[in-house]
Amino acid sequence: MTIGGLSKGRRLKPMPILQPIKTSREGLSEQIAYQVLDLIASSALEAGSRLPSIEQLAAQLGVSQASIREAIKLLDAWGAITVRHGAGVFVAGLTENLLTIPFKVSANRSDRALLNLHQIREALEPDIAAIAAREHQPEHLHEIEVALRGMDQSVNDPETYLKADLEFHTALAKSTGNDLFLIVIHPIIDLMEEGKRLTNRSPGMLERAQAHHWWIYEKIKKGAADEAYEAMRTHLEGSWKEIQLRSKPYSIIDFKPSKKGLLSDQVVHKLLDFIASNRLKVGDRLPPVEELCAQLGVSRTPVREAIKLLDAWGVITVKHGIGIFVSGPTKDTLKIPLRLSVERSDKAICHLHQLREALEPDIAAFAALNAQDEHIRLIEQTIRSMEKCMDTPKSFIVHDLAFHAALADATGNNLFLIVIHSVVDLLQDMRNLAVSTPGAPARAHQYHMRILENIKAKNPNGARQEMKSHLSQTWSEIQSVID
């Protein structure tokens, strides 16, 4: 049965057929949500398309309307759909805010929140500037310049300047033509607001920052990728020095609950703030629902709604009959928003590789600086596991993913772990083909060994360079498969 839906142009468009739900360990609502998510990711459902009614979906899938409602709540929490009360449920457009909550939670679970955010900016933004220099279009330059003019006009108004500064860095990410950079960098810059607010009070700081911004723009405008890279790197170094002078890099990031909007949304922010301010660790138990209601002065309904949202985001785990516990970051934390972005791009594999190319050399370098004995043992274990399955590409890829995740864990920066795990995992199908080419596993193994040697030697530059060479080799193998 085909059900009609509304497209962007409000014309009736055939609704792709969903498959009846089968018995599974996975909950019904999760199965439904993932089916809809796959249709969105494959572009079978476009941004702005209206989903069928709850009654129609229930009939098509052979499930209860209650299960459909639960699935819609999950999809809404993931940012995949927008619920317009009285109008219907629509596929959401691409948004750069999808990762803000997961990033806030992950950043605040560390004793070095601002430092972790700065490190991931340091890994991403110089590459963003370089790619923008190569790939920008005239409309991108116009958007960057508009942001710069706004910053020029607000150098005496730090709060207004902050907003224009975010617009500038967002415009740079758009100029790469790679939606993944936009998705990842926006919440990071947004979360750095606390540090930026401190530095903006320094005499002459905004003028110095603005000179850097114009310098970066000029390099991008003339297409000088290497110079744009260095200009951004210099800008970030200067900003971080100012932050270090005026704050501890171990600050808790405020969640800023809104006074408007749904009560459940306000409860979400209160619970996030509770987790952050109490330094709750993975596995720590939250107060029971009744106690949360009493502390917040609200009924059970908004608290339950907030808990469902936090569970969907992977922030907490609800163990029925036992309690509510703080979750650890998982590979799925970012996989859903990244997948929604990747599948809408004609250059999906290239964009994923660009993001890896920006992140992983710095990950290797930070691992060389920060790896403890247990990290090195884990990296060695993943390499030994790969050695045992050189002739089994699919098994090799599983351990290869574990190797790259172990490197990210060794950085001491949990943001690297949750981003890179998702990116490498999304590339898995293509890499299954790439490693099937003659000699590919052996070549990868050699690079892995050299990266490990540099980490053991505490040589960040050597580890960075070996990772760059490894990614270059991997990309040439992927390209041979694509071609």
Question: Among residues 73, 91, 109, which one ends one of the domains?
Answer: 91
Q: Are residues 218 and 82 in the same domain?
A: no
44 and 122 belong to one structural domain: no
Question: Residue 256: inside a domain, yes or no?
Answer: no
CATH number at residue 407: 1.20.120.530
CATH of the domain at 49: 1.10.10.10
Residues 78, 104 share a domain: no
The predicted structure's pLDDT at residue 14: 46
Looking at residue 267, its pLDDT comes to: 81
Co-location of 211 and 133 in the same domain: yes
pLDDT at residue 455 in the model = 97
Whether residue 317 is found in the same domain as residue 192: no
Residue 339 resides in a domain: no
Cα-based angle 99, 352, 100 (whole degrees, multiple of 5): 5
Does 107 share its domain with 81? no
Query: Are both 271 and 376 inside the same structural domain?
Result: no
**Which residues have C-beta within 8 Å of that of residue 282, sequence separation ≥ 6?**
109, 326, 327, 328
How far apart CA 256 and CA 419 sit, in angstroms, is 24
Does residue 204 share a domain with residue 78? no
Q: Classify residue 63 as left (phi > 0), alpha (psi -120 to 50) or beta.
A: beta
Concatenated DSSP letters of 94-114: P-TTTTHHHHHHHHHTSS-HH
Is position 333 within any domain?
Answer: no
DSSP conformational letter for 26: S
Closest among 313, 423, 352 to 80, alpha carbons compared: 313
For residue 247, the one-letter residue type is: S
**Is 252 domain-assigned?**
no
Which residue from 4, 62, 55 is spatially nearest to 28, judged by alpha carbons?
A: 62
Q: What's the domain count of the chain?
A: 4
The residue whose two tokens read 């929140």 is 113
Ordered per-residue pLDDT tens for the chain, 483 residues: 222 232 333 333 444 555 565 554 456 777 888 777 767 766 566 778 888 888 888 888 888 888 888 888 878 776 778 888 888 888 876 554 555 666 666 665 555 777 888 899 999 999 999 999 999 999 999 999 999 999 999 888 888 888 899 899 999 999 999 888 888 887 787 777 766 776 666 677 888 889 999 999 999 999 999 999 999 999 999 888 877 776 655 454 454 544 444 676 678 777 877 776 666 777 888 888 888 888 888 888 888 888 887 877 677 888 888 888 888 655 455 556 566 656 555 577 788 889 999 999 999 999 999 999 999 999 999 999 999 988 888 888 889 888 998 999 999 988 888 788 777 767 666 667 677 778 888 999 999 999 999 999 999 999 999 999 999 998 888 887 766
Is the residue at 221 inside a domain? yes
C-alpha distances in angstroms, 366 versus 137, 334, 433, 451, 454? 34, 21, 30, 12, 11
Neighbour tally for 47: CB within 10 Å: 17
Q: Which of 91, 115, 146 is the last residue of a domain?
A: 91
| pLDDT score at 337 | 58
Three-state DSSP at 254 gives coil
Can you give the pLDDT at residue 106?
A: 61
230 and 267 share one domain: no
Same-domain status, 356 and 411: yes
Instruction: Determine how β-strand 316-319 pairs with β-strand 88-91.
Output: unpaired
Q: Which domain holds residue 55?
A: 3-91
**φ, ψ at 159 (rounded to 5°):** -70, -45
Boundary-marking domain end, from 246, 277, 299: 246
Q: Is residue 442 part of a domain?
A: yes
Cβ–Cβ contacts within 10 Å for residue 152, how many? 15
Say yes or no: 50 and 163 in one domain.
Answer: no
In the chain the first and final C-alpha atoms are separated, in Å, by 38
DSSP string, 290-311: HHHHHHHT--HHHHHHHHHHHH
Distance CA 141, CA 91 (A): 30
Residues 379, 89: Cα–Cα separation, whole Å: 45
Rg (CA), the chain: 23
Q: Specify the 3-state DSSP secondary structure of 57.
A: helix
Instruction: Please tell me the predicted confidence (pLDDT) of residue 375.
Output: 96
Which of 199, 200, 189, 235 has its CA nearest to residue 216? 235
Which residue type occupies 294? A
pLDDT of residue 110: 58
Same-domain pairing of 107 and 241: yes
Task: Please report whether residue 319 resides in a domain.
Answer: yes
- Is the residue at 255 inside a domain? no
- The amino acid at residue 451 is I
